[in-house]
Structure 1
Amino acid sequence: MRAVSPARARARWAPRAAGTTRRSVASASSRAVAVRARTAVKTDDDADDVADDFEWYRKPSRVAIAGAWATLGAVAAFAAPSGTSGFDAELVKTIVTSPFGGVANPVFEALFNALGVVPATYACLLLPGAKGQKLPAALCVGASFALGFFAVGPYLATRAPRTTPAPRRSELGWVTRNVWESKLNAVALLGFASFLAYYGVSNLSPENVSGFIALIREQSMLACVSTCDLVVLSACMVDAIGEDMKRRNVDPSGALAYAAVPVVGPALWLVLRPSLEE
């Protein structure tokens, strides 16, 4: 048997060792890249797949929303007038059968109708970022047309941001794409919101104001809770507008300016906001 010299043996095994080393380095590099990618996803609040990891209770704005939801519930349970169901039913009947005829208190009538505009505005702001959330956005927003902040508040508090990558319009559901992203719908909301603002402000006589105060303090649980509901819905609007601005590559610092004018300001943003890419 012919002996193999040490030099020849090293030459024979060197390519195999080099190949093994390269594969090991490549594998280690791949694992490092994967770890860095997973870490980046977990630390980026705007990533689309962080809904399960998003810790809403660590964000002061979300804790404030949850606190507002609890406070509204406490007002409804302990502070609002009680035993007014009969009066409330007649009040709603009057508003529905004689709209804007001056039969019901015009200040409350404007406010009551605004509770139809605001949930529609929230639908326009929230549903484009509804994919993969912990709570069903369509259910929460849809229920808010009847239950207001009681329905949409938990979703506002717990939802994960959906800004990057921005969803394409073609990726949205039919209703979101054709209704909530529609400029025609936005113009209609702004028009009705502007009318309600005009109707309410133009009827701010001392008599109507005192009548409204009596409604919310003594006569109507519906009026009291509805008023507080609109206040909370409007106060929490700034967070949703800011997220929608980021989704459309607009500086979110202007969100407060739109939210500062209840009902009308957010509807104006819907008209002016850039459309999502197809």
Structure 2
Amino acid sequence: MNETFSRRVPLAGGTSIPQLGLGVFQVESGGTQQVVERALEIGYRHIDTAAAYVNEEGVGAAIHASGIPREEVFVTSKLRNGDQGYESALRAYADTCTRLGLERLDLYLIHWPNPAAGLWQDTWRALARLADQGEVAAVGVSNFMPEHLEELAQLSEVTPAVNQIELHPTYQQRELADHCRERGIAVQAYSPLGQAGDLEHPAITELAGRLDVSPAQVILRWHLDRGHVVIPKTVSPERMRSNADLDDVALSEADLAVLDGLDSGQRIGNDPYTFDKSQIR
């Protein structure tokens, strides 16, 4: 049995999340069901989607078609900027559940703080209500910076279970990650391979060659060893298998230190302080 699939990270609120999952960002809606079905066949039990990805229906269809008991599959989705606000967030969550064909999610996140709109505070109150009423197993945030988390702590007694952030060897956001851990918030890495850019870093390719593994396996093992929840995206069954074949990938403390030292401070994705698109299309 692949032990990587059995690794879990405890979350605030008493649940836990599989440490390795499959992200479906930019997976075409028409092909999502097939991609997720294949991932579930391979052994993945953690699927991460979002309303903005416009593929929730395919994720839900795959889960239902798989025949796997619902309680064995951890499902995350995220609230679009255009649905922020107290009542809007409650409606959006219900709509997401409908699209997925699920009674409730395992994790629901505010996708971006979108500070310019000034609505994430009311949005968090809505998510806290959903959690308090048991309509979702856990709630969290994505792309929230330390000051957002500080303000959030003053708004509600409900602690975010997760902060999903851009995190990979060349962009590690250590201050933010440390802040999350101090508050009991799990750190979840999106773009964990640097949108494939980190795969070509000379230090990583050298390490992969010495260990006779792929650069992706080196990076993903680093994420696991550093305690990150990680959701690499791929539509290739071969890469799905390879990404999960980490049981025998052993990084020494010196190896880990090499990857720790690759942080360039260069973000690939959008800036949480300025990203304000509605995400509705």
TM-score by length of 1: 0.24
Q: Which of the two has higher C-alpha Rg?
A: 1
Higher helix proportion, which one? 1
Higher strand proportion, which one? 2
Q: Which has the higher contact order (CA 8 A, sep 6+)?
A: 1
